[in-house]
Chain A
Amino acid sequence: MEIFIQQLVNSLSVASVTILIGIGITLIFGLAGIVNFAHGEFLMVGGMITWFLVTSGLNFFAALLGAMILVGALGFIAERGLFRFTLERPMNGFIMSIGMSVILQHVVIRIFNEVQKTIPDPIGKVWVIGGVDIIAMRGVVVALTAVVVAITYFGISRSRYGMALRASIADQDTAALMGIPVRRYVTGVFVYGSVLAGLGGALMIALFPITPFTGSVVIIRGFAVSLIGGLGNVGGAVGGGLLLGLVDGLSAGYGFPEWTDAYSLVVMIAILIVRPQGLFGGTLGPRST
């Protein structure tokens, strides 16, 4: 039982990173039809920035903020400078993003190197909850993600901007007829998704070592999560992330840890064949009149 609870917290903390990247992927695709393959590299860059700032002596949580801001800026530049021009041809945008992911890897290798980076556990404490030892940082990761998920969810379902965002995801042209500046929402969502990738990167390096190639592993899991949940569906990305996280964690604990990635991808493939719209229903990308 003790092992089970530890596995659960571990899986949840891994799931957190996946959920953070999944939310970005699902929103960006739902609104803009952009499949941003470089989103994983955005996370990796966030982790590298965190590593750089922490090794330069900055407090981890300040570094985390720095990573969120800088990766958000990276997302802004990528959207305004690149993806904006491929909105009419999503396939071009997809190919471009693959190119961008390789370029980002090489830029990071150039600036630093390809050796994996770690930082010391930012909290370095173990909580004992009900007789079970839990690494405090893992709990913090889960809690921070829960807060972000809640803010995102209520922002989208309750606020005026969230309502306009949902309308734009459903029908861009009609949303524009209401006076909604859809293009600005595309930028906003891209930046928001990037900020979450920056956060995800910071949280990830607090738990595991990161290499310049971490992004390509993460992106597959991010796509899996958003496809399982249904593209464009934030609640679905959270559900999908939890599902994958649990499959991972439990398979690592009770099965063959080296097969962890395969398990989650088998789950993804099975769900996509049985329910092409994802478990919770999503969009097919942007629609217009």
Chain B
Amino acid sequence: MMPLEVEHLRTAYGPVVVNRDVSLTVHQHEIVTILGPNGAGKSTLLRAISGLLRPRNGVIRFDGKKVTGRPAAQMAALGVVMVPEGRHIFPDLTVQENLRLGAYCRKDRDAVEEDIRLMESYFHVLATKRGAKGSNLSGGQQQMLAIARGLMARPRILLLDEPSLGLSPLLIKDVRAVIMDVRAKFSAAVLLVEQNAGLALAVADRGYLLQHGDIVASGVIAELRDNRLMHELYLGHGRSGKASIRGNQ
């Protein structure tokens, strides 16, 4: 069973093409990462999958069903839920209201209340800040809330866009534990976008390396870790490496 299949996806903002031809799959219970430098087109790819951005071309399938171009609200209802880059907590809503909104598309109201308790037991800070406005949380707290809010939808696949951004090393460790638990406790697949290769390589089963909008390497993590491009991009043979990759395209 393949929850998510992306084939030959092309995205653009107006005339500016970002992803030219991207194909990827995420299997059930899998944690898959998309790595890549600044501006590689990782967020754009996730926005297209989550329905925020209509792809120019290509096919997105979920559970074997074609879902290309469906609006984000419908994708969320199907179980494809994105936690956007930069958290985007609703600043004037309380922590509880943020969580409750995460479950907007669910019909089982009683289970939603239970899930709020579950999130609070899981992310303790959410229990202590229950009535606080979203804007009164620290960056790390907001990130925890953003992930919890995503989980409130009971997603089949959770799309995480740079959850470690701006967090301290200690909090990054927490995020790492949470991602592992998403699979274990919520039996959801995860598609994780990261610039922090350390975190991504530690949690993911497989990965794709994105550069200038397209996939330049992919494989199981052990292979990807040893990939030459990975080394050039992340272990800093900086400029010469980038030049040679451009030459390859």
A-B pairs, top 7 by smallest CB distance, nearest first, are A179-B105, A179-B76, A176-B72, A174-B88, A181-B73, A179-B104, A178-B104
Which A residue's beta carbon lies closest to that of B53?
A: A173
Asked if A289 lies at the interface with its beta carbon under 8 angstroms from chain B, I say: yes
> Distance (Å) between the CB of A264 and the closest chain B CB?
29
Asked if B77 lies at the interface with its beta carbon under 8 angstroms from chain A, I say: yes
In the complex, per-residue mask of B26-50: 1 if CB is within 8 Å of any chain A CB, else 0:
0000000000000000000000001
Among B93-101, B202-210, B215-223, the stretch that binds chain A is B93-101
Determine the distance from Cα of A120 to Cα of B100 in the docked complex, in whole angstroms: 50
Asked if A250 lies at the interface with its beta carbon under 8 angstroms from chain B, I say: no
A166 touches B73 (CB 8 A): no
A176 touches B52 (CB 8 A): yes
Could you list 17 further interchain pairs (A-B, Cβ under 8 angstroms) beyond the known A170-B93, A180-B73? Answer: A160-B104, A164-B104, A166-B90, A166-B92, A166-B93, A171-B88, A173-B72, A176-B72, A178-B102, A178-B104, A178-B105, A178-B149, A178-B153, A179-B76, A179-B77, A181-B73, A289-B88
Determine the distance from Cα of A180 to Cα of B52 in the docked complex, in whole angstroms: 12
Asked if A182 lies at the interface with its beta carbon under 8 angstroms from chain B, I say: yes
Asked if A167 lies at the interface with its beta carbon under 8 angstroms from chain B, I say: yes
A163 touches B101 (CB 8 A): yes
Determine the distance from Cα of A77 to Cα of B66 in the docked complex, in whole angstroms: 32
Determine the distance from Cα of A175 to Cα of B76 in the docked complex, in whole angstroms: 10
Ordered by A's residue number, 14 sampled pairs between the chains whose C-beta atoms are within 8 Å are A166-B90, A167-B93, A171-B88, A174-B84, A174-B88, A176-B72, A177-B50, A177-B52, A177-B76, A177-B84, A178-B102, A181-B71, A289-B84, A289-B86
A180 touches B101 (CB 8 A): yes
A177, A180, A182, most chain B CB atoms within 10 A: A177
Which A residue's beta carbon lies closest to that of B97?
A: A163
Size class of the contact patch on chain A:
10 to 19
Determine the distance from Cα of A166 to Cα of B93 in the docked complex, in whole angstroms: 8
| A residues adjacent to B (C-beta < 8 A) | 160, 163-164, 166-167, 170-171, 173-183, 289
List of A residues within 8 angstroms of B50 by Cβ? 177
Which A residue's beta carbon lies closest to that of B50?
A: A177
List of A residues within 8 angstroms of B69 by Cβ? none
> Distance (Å) between the CB of A176 and the closest chain B CB?
4
List of B residues within 8 angstroms of A176 by Cβ? 51-52, 71-73, 76
> Distance (Å) between the CB of B190 and the closest chain A CB?
16
List of B residues within 8 angstroms of A289 by Cβ? 52, 84-86, 88
A174 touches B153 (CB 8 A): no
List of A residues within 8 angstroms of B91 by Cβ? 170
Determine the distance from Cα of A149 to Cα of B91 in the docked complex, in whole angstroms: 25
Determine the distance from Cα of A91 to Cα of B76 in the docked complex, in whole angstroms: 31
In the complex, per-residue mask of B100-136: 1 if CB is within 8 Å of any chain A CB, else 0:
1110110000000000000000000000000000000
> Distance (Å) between the CB of B237 and the closest chain A CB?
34
List of A residues within 8 angstroms of B77 by Cβ? 179
Determine the distance from Cα of A181 to Cα of B77 in the docked complex, in whole angstroms: 10
Which A residue's beta carbon lies closest to that of B94?
A: A163
